A and B are shown apart, each in its own frame.
Chain A
């Protein structure tokens, strides 16, 4: 009787131990598969379509990894102000922040974000799979380290009214007035800056304008003048951080922009992001330029029914005097950077890789309003099936990213330099400064700012 009871007890103990071992094994496996389960990753991102588009993926990611991702979507200014306050206070509130080229140097210089090179190496992530521009926009420093995950690679695509440019009457009228054929810009044969001015002048009539681009405030004032400075062969400063603006090429850029201004809506000097879209969709602009999504939307019948199907895509005009066969556009977009104060940097990187490096998810994100940073997404047939007009868009977009885009001047006090350039351009546009005076004035002021970092 006693030995039976003892055997029974022993069996119970063995069974309990076995159950415990199984439970431990299961938990251990789960922990290995979900090493960051329970972590919360907070992202500070811009409130716009591409961040809206990844929100539906968050629950799937949490179910797979146990990591909860919370996203704060704010306007550009509000996000910047808040992230700076959090960084300065060292709260570690954000694990991931949107890193714009406009303020990346400041954040990196202050040590607020970490380089992702080591993470890429540790995870064996092939950065070649991404568009080169999407990686390049996140590079900074003497060793060209990558500071943010590829998230958005963008630039200004030039848009023109194909229907007007191909209209026989318009072509005849142009030939008669200017003595040469109305140019149809292509990747292989972009317009020259002189042709661009002629075309802009030709189409400026009645309610219609030859060209329009936002130029308001510091951001767009600078984004308007910077590519023209590059196109004419100028730069803001040299490799030693000496200003190079008191230069005939910069004078030429100011003069070109000043002449072009006569064919733009007067209000464009106060326009901000996207303020030219209503006139573009109204069919009142013969030519304009805009970020990639604006280019795609212009031919979308649901967005711009009046001009959809009539918009052509082109590279920027080039200035033969520069000795180059192409013009320039500003590399835009940005990346998602992991913050130095983050309590969960590994979980943060895991999320970024899970969503943006997986071709299937990256494609789904793009099709639902996201951006394309993986080369495979641009080549996916699903994209051209969804947006047939993208067939004309992507070759130009790829050409721009590969050939004409340049990273804007990136130094810790970039914003102050951009303020000077925007203000100088506005003074030229308002007729208060001649191009020569503008170049001299900007040179002196920018050089004084650069002295701080030389």
Chain B
């Protein structure tokens, strides 16, 4: 074959080289991604499938070999279980308030620390301290040192002002408020870091242009900065929902779901149903229901939050 040959005569050789290159590319890709996919399948996909499978059975933890297929029976039972519905409601309240509060505080902190000032790096480091603390340890400190009704710092300070503080973790609605406060303290630094990084990436000229046009600070935030951060905000909200809806340790340590199930969320419900009361199939049905609820909420937020933006560009 020569260079004068027609193109169709040269094509088979080029195609063969292209196929070989493509095969090498896929082999390399599989080599790099394969182990991760296998690990993901073992630690995430298989347990999820097993949870879904076991939720279709009347299956007790202490009699693992005696199980009976009941189809969607566990899910039907969930719909009429007042304790499960109470836990679902508590989860919704807890997640909505916690995600909302952390998003507001984290974003405000990022905005406040955007402009350079002396000691900014120190302030930034201090703001992230809660995030690096062990949740169980810090929760215990909050519970015993700050919120203990008779020996805690909060009620002592209130007492100085002549106010008798409540039994924070032993009464309602203060128990829910207390765990929310601890979670907001714990998770705000994460939002702060994400929003801070996103603000760093914003083009200064756009904000400056708005300033030159006479926009006040909050107008610049409201009409320029936040719209440009929209994608970051949506994905941070989704990430925060998946964390808070699955929150276990703070609530377990702080209130154990009490008093009188007022702070029992779905993760605690699943734990109690499956591991304390041995209703493995039923507990897993609750876990699957939680997964579906969280997944649906996240999908809805993603669709609504990003619809206009993707619609406008049409490319992504």
Interface residues of A (CB under 8 A from B): 80-81, 84, 87-88, 106-107, 109-110, 112, 207, 216-218, 221, 265-272, 278-279, 284, 412-413, 415-416, 419, 422-423, 426-427, 429-430, 432
Q: How far is the CA of A5 from the CA of B167 in the complex (A)?
A: 98
- Shortest Cβ gap from A360 to chain B (Å): 39
Assess the A279–B151 pair: CB atoms within 8 A.
yes
Which residue of chain B is the closest to A105 with respect to CB atoms?
B62
Contact pattern, B 173-196, Cβ under 8 Å of A = 1, otherwise 0: 001000000000000000000000
Interface-side segment among B23-31, B126-134, B273-281:
B273-281
Q: B169 in the interface, Cβ–Cβ < 8 Å?
A: yes
- Judged by DSSP, the binding face of B is loop
Assess the A267–B62 pair: CB atoms within 8 A.
no
Assess the A270–B61 pair: CB atoms within 8 A.
no
Q: B15 in the interface, Cβ–Cβ < 8 Å?
A: no
Q: How far is the CA of A127 from the CA of B27 in the complex (A)?
A: 70
- Judged by DSSP, the binding face of A is helix
Assess the A413–B261 pair: CB atoms within 8 A.
no
Assess the A270–B169 pair: CB atoms within 8 A.
yes
25 cross-chain CB contacts under 8 A: A84-B61, A88-B64, A107-B62, A110-B62, A216-B170, A216-B258, A217-B256, A217-B258, A265-B149, A265-B167, A266-B149, A266-B150, A266-B167, A268-B170, A269-B170, A269-B171, A270-B167, A270-B175, A412-B62, A413-B277, A415-B276, A415-B277, A419-B277, A426-B258, A430-B172
Contacts of A110 in B (CB 8 A): 62-63
Assess the B148–A267 pair: CB atoms within 8 A.
yes
Q: A107-B62, A430-B172 are in contact. Are A270 and B260 (CB under 8 A)?
A: no
Contacts A207-B150, A217-B257, A419-B277 aside, 19 further interface pairs with beta carbons under 8 A come to A80-B275, A81-B275, A88-B61, A88-B64, A106-B62, A106-B278, A109-B62, A216-B170, A266-B150, A269-B167, A269-B170, A270-B169, A272-B256, A279-B150, A284-B150, A413-B277, A419-B276, A422-B258, A423-B261
Contacts of A217 in B (CB 8 A): 256-258
A216, A265, A266: most-surrounded residue (chain B CB, <10 A): A266
Q: Which residues of chain B (201-238) have a CB below 8 Å from chain A?
A: none
- Shortest Cβ gap from A227 to chain B (Å): 20
Q: B135 in the interface, Cβ–Cβ < 8 Å?
A: no
Contacts of B166 in A (CB 8 A): 266
Q: How far is the CA of A416 from the CA of B149 in the complex (A)?
A: 29
Which residue of chain A is the closest to B164 with respect to CB atoms?
A266
User: Which 10 pairs from chain A and chain B are nearest by CB?
Assistant: A267-B149, A270-B170, A266-B167, A426-B260, A269-B170, A110-B62, A217-B256, A267-B167, A426-B259, A270-B169
Q: Which residues of chain B (275-298) have a CB below 8 Å from chain A?
A: 275-278
Q: B272 in the interface, Cβ–Cβ < 8 Å?
A: yes
Q: B255 in the interface, Cβ–Cβ < 8 Å?
A: yes
Contacts of B260 in A (CB 8 A): 423, 426-427, 430, 432
- Shortest Cβ gap from B62 to chain A (Å): 4
- Shortest Cβ gap from A89 to chain B (Å): 8
Which residue of chain A is the closest to B253 with respect to CB atoms?
A272
